[in-house]
């Protein structure tokens, strides 16, 4: 999926970090917590409707982002969701959580305060780490 095919609201809310084979990888602009969003290559709206092989590929990518959040960023809890109530395009949320984060123990939706923003250096650092750890392909 090319960036131009990602829903405008997702692009407005996120940084586009690159691509995995089955999905694009976004990072929510609010740097209060690490909130990644994967946008699978599909016109389907629900992850459970994907054909088995495609669903497995997307889940492998979700697991890679979860591992990054835990192993590199040091979070011990990851929230995972695929809602699509506001943005109908399939997208999957992978969010690093810890006791004491700005939303704990509530969900991030509707509870995330205005937060700091990512510096270009931090975005590049995380992008480079995902390239090395999970095979992310940065945007051209």
H or E stretch including 79?
strand 77-81
Range of the domain at 97: 3-134
pLDDT digits (tens, 9 = 90+) for 5-29: 999 999 999 999 999 999 999 999 9
Question: Would you say residue 1 has pLDDT above 50?
Answer: no
| Beta-carbon count within 10 A of 84 CB | 15
Domain membership of residue 139 (yes or no) is no
Mean pLDDT, the chain, whole residue set: 94
End-to-end CA distance of the chain: 13
Q: Which CATH number is 112's domain given?
A: 3.30.428.10
Q: Are the C-beta atoms of 40 and 92 separated by less than 8 Å?
A: yes
Domain count, the chain: 1
């Amino acid at each position: 999926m090319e960036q131009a095919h990602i829903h405008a609201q997702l692009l407005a809310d996120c940084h586009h970090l690159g691509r995995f084979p089955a999905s694009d990888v976004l990072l929510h602009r609010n740097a209060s917590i690490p909130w990644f969003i994967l946008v699978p290559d599909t016109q389907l709206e629900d992850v459970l409707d994907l054909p088995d092989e495609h669903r497995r590929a997307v889940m492998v990518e979700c697991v890679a982002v979860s591992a990054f959040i835990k192993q590199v960023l040091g979070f011990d809890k990851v929230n995972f969701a695929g809602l699509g109530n506001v943005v109908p395009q399939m997208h999957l949320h992978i969010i690093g959580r810890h006791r004491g984060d700005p939303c704990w123990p509530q969900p991030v939706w509707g509870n995330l305060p205005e937060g700091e923003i990512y510096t270009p250096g931090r975005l590049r650092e995380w992008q480079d780490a995902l390239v090395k750890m999970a095979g992310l392909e940065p945007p051209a």
